[in-house]
Amino acid sequence: MDAPDFREIDKKWQDIWHRERTWQVSNNLTESGGAAYVLEMLPYTSGEPHIGHLKNYAVGDAVAHFMRRNGRRVLHPMGYDAFGLPAENHAIRTGKHPKESTDESIASFARQFREWGISIDWSRELATHQPSYYRWTQWIFLRLFEKGLAYRKNAAVKWCPKDATVLANEQVVGGRCERCGTEVEARQLEQWFFRITDYADRLLAGLHEIEWPEHVKTMQRNWIGRSEGAEVIFSCVETGEQYHVFTTRPDTLFGATFFVLAPEHPDVLRLAAGTPQEESVREYVNQALRSTNDTRGAADKPKTGVFLGRHVINPANNEHIPVYVADYVLMEYGTGAVMAVPAHDERDYAFARAFGLPITQVITPDDPDGPAAGQLPYTGAGTLRSSGEFDGLTSAAAGAAITSWLAAEGAGCQTVSYKLRDWLVSRQRYWGCPIPIVHCQSCGLVPVPDEQLPVHLPDIEDYAPKGRSPLASADDWVNVTCPACGGHARRETDTMDTFVDSSWYFLRYCDPTNTEQAWDFNALAEWMPVDQYIGGIEHAILHLLYARFLTKVLYDLGKVPVAEPFAKLFTQGMITKDGAKMSKSRGNVVSPVRIVKHYGADTARCYVLFMGPPDTGADWSDEGIEGVYRFLRRLLRLGRELAETTQAPAAGDTHQIDTGLNRKVAETIVRVTESMTQKFAFNISIAAVMELSNSVSRAQRDGASPAALRHAVATGASLLFPFAPHISSEVYELLTGRRVWEDSWPLADMTLLASETKLIVCQVNGKVRDRVEVPAGADDAVVESAARASQAVLHALSDSTLLKTVVVRDKLINFVVR
Ligand code: ANZ
Ligand code: ZN
């Protein structure tokens, strides 16, 4: 028996599920049974599915099946994240329309999902590049636009002067254009943004409402990066202009001995103009703008910078302090300017040492003999000194007092700062969702009316970037009449970031064919939130944050009944090969197509779940998959054999053997059920069924009755169904004549388990005196009385005073005596 057999079985069941639409669910509020929504992140359709996809959907499918068989009505849909750069780059190289290569990829994904036997409700299939989908992406954009949550502003972008195009960060390699090697420049261009920063606090607060892995919540918190502190205003001595800084340490204000602007700060060049430093400032800024080094803010990087030839006034002591430009200050955080306190900040300290700037200690560590005493920089809290009227206050008290004083003087205020930036959603790209806005000379930005949606993505000939979106050359499409005044207007030619498409697809699944609205509110009320979301850790930040943000916006608009989209999250670990990430260039890619062809779908699915706990990474092993393959073949063979055996068992004590096997069955049900509900330990579930099948073989040799053997194998198949749906269905049908998914999840016969006994080690002062038998799970009192019934124990206890007894359930009792 080999894989061709398995593949026939795969096909047999897949055809049934397909024909009977077994996994299709309707929106039906009256139907009994709790609705459950199980969702894996939708695949990004460029190229072929890889083994990581198989694992993702095998995990989700196991959850979906388990929930169904526990009485839930499960929504388990599928779709494709179809817009994006790879298809467009492919089009530039080959001339093939991005839609063609994307649809090919989608077809391949869909075929493989079927071949893997994933239990998908195909009636809800969607793809984000279909006009019937992106019509509603545009509709959502317009709702944000109406609320002022979608807006335009200038933003620094990386620009290749030769290709005349904006580059994504990942297209800049070593400061040069990935395509032509030209040095990249910075440019200010008008871009579209979503005002996600308005939701920063609610995105933080919402984390308390959801059951997500703690490390993912931490990543989201760090990304949002909320810091409480003060804004302080410094005035330029020479120009009188005011500069705001954000600081988390207003208590250190008297120690600010210089001032630093980020190279991207818009005032840097103007401030330096006319000073002797002008030329070196210009050089420094250009150099910094070209570099894409994102570790430039790190504490241990050597500090570079240039004096601007200007000074600002420290509002605390009116001292004139020099202004520098330095790349350790980032434009994206706070105000892009800092008051530098070298005595108490590591980066400021390193800079001051490198540039010979004064270092004034204003905080004394609380522990004068502690390791920090006398050592600078001292970054902890303490007591103020050299700070005028604030001397002697603690850091906390001084921070509050100095902030109030600044507020009274009009030189600052208390504030909160976030690392989170507004979401830049426009792309100068073809293969994306058109932004439904027109630019009118007289009316400005005009939304395309809802009833004119979708704004179709036009077919074009030439996708090559030309310094503007390729759509700009589609003249017929670009030129329109203004919906407001009827005058001449031009369409927005940028397209949306593909993250917008994937930030709301889970809503559309609830009502995927609605042509009147994006969804019916009641459909969402039935299914949302997603009960269990499953995906890769690489989406822990952006995708999940964006989806949470859009859900909150739509919730505020009364369009969505929940403020958090994903009640529970599971992140699966990566599969490596030979210890390394799989990649074409390394040549270590394991192709699911080949594996499924060779071993059948169930072996592939079981193996990726059996490799280890699904949330941790694991290395691919050819022996490992062979082992799983053998196990499934044995299960099928047992099923076939037992389906045909009717004769009585060999002579012997059948009853006792049967009871032993039945107990093993009950135990296995408990183990599999527990490992499925706790932490998705599917590897343990599968291992438990493997053990059961070993017990079956043993019991068969020992002469168990066919009925008991059949019961054991059928239950094993039933328990394995969430992982190996084809072979399990086959074996279950052979033995019971029924369809396994129509039967509910097996229940353990607890009376069998209760009658199980355990051998308890009896100790007196740690010394083993005897062993006694008690029912499994017996409580302490039962164990103690059983132990006291032992002569050997009684003897050891005589003539002593009992101090206490220690019982380890099912294992041991120790009498501690004097
Ligand atoms: C003065 C000061 C004194 C600071 C001191 C720290 C210690 P977090 O905690 O991450 O919010 N900072 C502010 N804007 C910055 C920027 N754009 N680029 C680089 N650094 C910036 O960090 C806030 C602190 O980081 C701020 O508080 C500021 O330095 C610096 F003993 O101000 B502090
Ligand atoms: Zn107009």
Distance 491 CA to ligand 2 centre (A): 12
Q: What is the pLDDT of residue 613?
A: 92
246 lines ligand 1 (CB under 6 A): yes
Distance 446 CA to ligand 2 centre (A): 7
- 678-717 in b/e form (b: 16+ CB < 10 A) is eebbbbbbbbbbbebbebbeebbebebbbebbbbbbbbbb
Q: What is the pLDDT of residue 166?
A: 72
Distance 453 CA to ligand 2 centre (A): 18
Residues 229-252, mean pLDDT to the nearest whole number: 97
Token digits of residue 494: 């940028």
Average the pLDDT over each of 368-372, 435-439, 692-696 and give the range with the smallest value: 368-372
Token digits of residue 427: 């792309």
Q: Which amino acid is it at 104? A: E
Atom of ligand 1 nearest to the CA of 246: 13
CB atoms within 10 A of CB 729: 24
Q: What is the pLDDT of residue 252?
A: 98
Q: What is the pLDDT of residue 16?
A: 98
Distance 419 CA to ligand 1 centre (A): 12
Sign of CA dihedral 684, 688, 693, 694: positive
Average the pLDDT over each of 148-162, 458-472, 622-636, 697-711 and give the range with the smallest value: 458-472
Token digits of residue 755: 């009658």
333 lines ligand 1 (CB under 6 A): yes
Q: What is the pLDDT of residue 549?
A: 98
339 lines ligand 1 (CB under 6 A): yes
Question: For a substitution probing ligand 1, which of 222, 231, 247 has the most ligand atoms within 8 Å of its CB?
Answer: 247
Among all bound ligands, the one having the nearest atom to the CA of 303 is 1
Q: What is the pLDDT of residue 167?
A: 73
330 lines ligand 1 (CB under 6 A): yes
Judged on CB neighbours under 10 Å (0-12, 13-18, 19+), 449 is exposed
Cβ atoms of 334 and 297 within 8 Å: the answer is no
Average the pLDDT over each of 28-42, 118-132, 514-528 and give the range with the smallest value: 28-42
Distance 246 CA to ligand 1 centre (A): 7
Given a cut of 50, is residue 60 above it in pLDDT? Answer: yes
Q: What is the pLDDT of residue 627?
A: 96
Token digits of residue 807: 């019982």
Among all bound ligands, the one having the nearest atom to the CA of 416 is 1
Residue 95 banded pLDDT, cuts 50, 70, 90: confident
Given a cut of 90, is residue 651 above it in pLDDT? Answer: no
Residues 389-405, mean pLDDT to the nearest whole number: 97
Q: What is the length of the chain?
A: 818
Distance 308 CA to ligand 1 centre (A): 20
Residues 6+ apart with CB under 8 A from 196: 203, 420, 422, 423, 545, 546, 549
334 lines ligand 1 (CB under 6 A): yes
Q: What is the pLDDT of residue 318?
A: 97
344 lines ligand 1 (CB under 6 A): yes
Residues 660-678, mean pLDDT to the nearest whole number: 92
Helices 98-115, 51-68: inter-axial angle, 10-degree rounding: 50
pLDDT single digits (tens) 764-816: 999 999 998 887 777 787 788 889 888 899 899 888 888 888 999 889 999 99
Residues 204-222, mean pLDDT to the nearest whole number: 97
Among all bound ligands, the one having the nearest atom to the CA of 232 is 1
Nearest CA, atom 26, ligand 1: 247
- What average pLDDT is seen over the chain? 92
Among all bound ligands, the one having the nearest atom to the CA of 265 is 1
Q: What is the pLDDT of residue 405?
A: 97
Distance from C-alpha of 648 to C-alpha of 118, rounded to nearest angstrom: 40
Nearest CA, atom 27, ligand 1: 247
Given a cut of 60, is residue 3 above it in pLDDT? Answer: no
Distance 229 CA to ligand 1 centre (A): 9
Atom of ligand 1 nearest to the CA of 343: 31
Distance 233 CA to ligand 1 centre (A): 15
Among all bound ligands, the one having the nearest atom to the CA of 446 is 2
252 lines ligand 1 (CB under 6 A): yes
297 lines ligand 1 (CB under 6 A): yes
Distance from C-alpha of 339 to C-alpha of 318, rounded to nearest angstrom: 14
Distance 319 CA to ligand 1 centre (A): 20
SS (H, E, C) 719-770: HHCCCCHHHHHHHHHHHHCCCHHHCCCCCCCHHHHHCCEEEEEEEECCEEEE
Residues 252-271, mean pLDDT to the nearest whole number: 96
Given a cut of 80, is residue 238 above it in pLDDT? Answer: yes
Distance from C-alpha of 291 to C-alpha of 263, rounded to nearest angstrom: 11
247 lines ligand 1 (CB under 6 A): yes
Atom of ligand 1 nearest to the CA of 377: 31
Cβ atoms of 729 and 779 within 8 Å: the answer is no
Q: Which three-class secondary structure state does DSSP give residue 232?
A: strand
399 lines ligand 1 (CB under 6 A): no
Distance 248 CA to ligand 1 centre (A): 6
Residue 1 banded pLDDT, cuts 50, 70, 90: very low
Residue 32 banded pLDDT, cuts 50, 70, 90: low
Among all bound ligands, the one having the nearest atom to the CA of 486 is 2
Residues 411-439, mean pLDDT to the nearest whole number: 94
Atom of ligand 1 nearest to the CA of 328: 19
294: closest CA among 112, 172, 159? 172
Nearest CA, atom 12, ligand 1: 338
Distance 444 CA to ligand 2 centre (A): 7
pLDDT single digits (tens) 312-356: 999 999 999 999 999 999 988 899 999 999 999 999 999 999 999
Atom of ligand 1 nearest to the CA of 336: 17
Given a cut of 70, is residue 2 above it in pLDDT? Answer: no
227 lines ligand 1 (CB under 6 A): yes
Judged on CB neighbours under 10 Å (0-12, 13-18, 19+), 571 is buried
Decide the pairing of beta strands 479-481 and 488-491: antiparallel
Nearest CA, atom 10, ligand 1: 227
Distance from C-alpha of 712 to C-alpha of 593, rounded to nearest angstrom: 33
Q: What is the pTM of this model?
A: 0.86
Distance from C-alpha of 279 to C-alpha of 277, rounded to nearest angstrom: 6
Residues 6+ apart with CB under 8 A from 268: 261, 262, 281, 285, 308, 325
Distance from C-alpha of 665 to C-alpha of 673, rounded to nearest angstrom: 12
CB atoms within 10 A of CB 635: 25
Residues 6+ apart with CB under 8 A from 281: 268, 269, 272, 275, 306, 308, 325
Distance 321 CA to ligand 1 centre (A): 17
Question: For a substitution probing ligand 1, which of 227, 234, 244, 246 has the most ligand atoms within 8 Å of its CB?
Answer: 246
Decide the pairing of beta strands 488-491 and 165-167: unpaired
Residues 454-471, mean pLDDT to the nearest whole number: 85
Distance from C-alpha of 52 to C-alpha of 295, rounded to nearest angstrom: 30
Distance 338 CA to ligand 1 centre (A): 7
SS (H, E, C) 236-296: ECCCCCEEEEEECCHHHHHHCCEEEECCCCCCHHHHHCCCCCHHHHHHHHHHHHHCCCCCC
Atom of ligand 1 nearest to the CA of 334: 14
Residues 468-488, mean pLDDT to the nearest whole number: 93
Among all bound ligands, the one having the nearest atom to the CA of 443 is 2
Nearest CA, atom 22, ligand 1: 248
